[in-house]
Amino acid sequence: MPLDPSYFDYPHRSYGMDHDFYDWSMLADRKAVEWPGNARIALWINVALQYFPLNQEGKPFAPVAGMTTSYPDLRHYTLREYGNRVGIYRLLKAFDKYSISPTFAVNTRLAERYPYLVNKLRERGDEIICHGWDMDTPHYGGMDAGEEAKLVKKSLQGLREITGQAVEGWISPSKSQSMHTPELLAKNGVKYMCDWINDDMPYPFRTDAGEIIAMPLSTELEDRFIMHHNLHSETEYAEQMIDAFDFLYKEAAEQGGRMLALSVHPWMLGQPHRIGKFEQVLEHITGHDGVWSAGAGEIAAVWQGQQS
């Protein structure tokens, strides 16, 4: 049976998007972006420093990559801790070797628990963004708006006090948001968020508290998603990262600057059998002219400065 014409009558029915958060546009039709030094690629490597409680509640859903067996799930808990004690230092050495400027997405509760790690990041001077309170404290539809407002404020204030940084970026635990999250972030001084993965480039996102930048952090190019979820090998991971770079590098020559956003986890890539493949990726990328490695906030600022 054909659909009744009334099916297509609803609020926000229009050409493009059916909401007012952002305007619809084709990537190829947008104003070309020029990165510093006339670079083709802005390289954003986001390192997730996460705290998974051993006694997670898992409400209203279990955190992505969280505990999966009955309490105490020491197998998964200690593997995540391995990343914060061992794997992270292998990543830092790789970043320094290839002159990479990473961004660190940090749970506030992790910052409280691991002062030695926060001190190391402060010494390096790399950008730190807020990854929420912890991985078992999601933002979600149906969450009490007042409780979420307190959670956002607590997470940001706590991380700013501990790190001494402005902390102007945000990634929700499991990239989960409620309808109120972007507005709450804007109210609390966040300039960009990384939960929406529907593009290759930054774009303006409207809220009732003002505009915020959406910085897409691809799940498809995430180490955990590729190796932990899709069960691909380390070699296949490296091939996919290199393929993504090569394609965007060529596209940038024709359409203007592009952004390559790689999401990495120390408990995944910091393993001795994987770090070599990650270094292979970095060697390939940095072996090309026209690659600008920068923090997410700096990339967002350069992009925003060219949008008027």
286 phi, psi to nearest 5 deg? -75, -10
For residue 276, give the nearest of 80, 97, 104 by alpha carbon.
Answer: 97
Span 53-63, average pLDDT: 96
CA 175 distance to own-chain centroid: 8
Span 13-24, average pLDDT: 86
Mean pLDDT of the chain: 96
Q: Is 24 helix (H, G, I), strand (E, B) or coil?
A: coil
Q: Where are the alpha helices (H) located in the chain, listed in sequence order? A: 74-82, 88-97, 108-113, 115-124, 145-163, 181-187, 223, 234-255, 266-269, 275-286, 296-304
Determine how many CB atoms are found less than 10 A away from the CB of residue 106: 27
260-277 confidence digits (pLDDT tens): 999 999 999 999 999 999
- Please report the pLDDT score of residue 172 as a whole number: 98
Answer yes or no: is pLDDT of 111 > 90.
yes
For residue 90, give the nearest of 287, 267, 288, 284 by alpha carbon.
Answer: 267
Answer yes or no: is pLDDT of 186 > 80.
yes
Q: Which two tokens stand for residue 234?
A: 């380390």
- Please report the pLDDT score of residue 298 as a whole number: 98
Q: Which residues of 58-80 are buried (b: 16+ CB within 10 A; e: fewer)?
A: eeeebbbbbbeeeeebeebbebb
pLDDT band at 1 (very low <50, low <70, confident <90, very high): confident
SS3 for 144-190, per residue? CHHHHHHHHHHHHHHHHHHHCCCCCEECCHHHCCCCCHHHHHHHCCC
pLDDT band at 208 (very low <50, low <70, confident <90, very high): very high
- Please report the pLDDT score of residue 308 as a whole number: 76
CA distance 190 to 183: 10
Answer yes or no: is pLDDT of 17 > 90.
no
- Please report the pLDDT score of residue 143 as a whole number: 97
Answer yes or no: is pLDDT of 11 > 90.
no
Inter-residue contact 233 to 188 (CB < 8 Å): no
- Please report the pLDDT score of residue 128 as a whole number: 98
113-119: long-range contacts at Cβ-Cβ below 8 A with a sequence spacing of 24 or more? Answer: 113/51, 114/84, 115/162, 117/49, 117/84, 117/88, 118/162, 118/163
Question: Phi/psi class of residue 189: alpha, beta or left (left: φ > 0; alpha: ψ in -120 to 50)?
Answer: left
DSSP category for residue 289: S
Domains of the chain, earliest start first: 33-304 (3.20.20.370)
pTM score, whole prediction = 0.95
CA 251 distance to own-chain centroid: 23
Span 204-228, average pLDDT: 97
- Report the share of the chain in percent with pLDDT over 70: 100
CA distance 155 to 160: 9
- Report the share of the chain in percent with pLDDT over 90: 93
- Please report the pLDDT score of residue 213 as a whole number: 98
Strands 203-205 and 212-214: antiparallel
The HSE-up count of residue 16 (CA atoms within 13 Å, CB side) is 9
Answer yes or no: is pLDDT of 12 > 90.
no
For residue 44, give the nearest of 308, 306, 302 by alpha carbon.
Answer: 302
Answer yes or no: is pLDDT of 197 > 90.
yes
78-99 confidence digits (pLDDT tens): 999 999 999 999 999 999 999 9
Sign for the pseudo-dihedral over CA of 42, 245, 16, 138: negative
Answer yes or no: is pLDDT of 165 > 80.
yes
pLDDT band at 2 (very low <50, low <70, confident <90, very high): confident
Matching residue, tokens 């309808």: 179
Q: Which two tokens stand for residue 76?
A: 């998964």
Answer yes or no: is pLDDT of 286 > 90.
yes
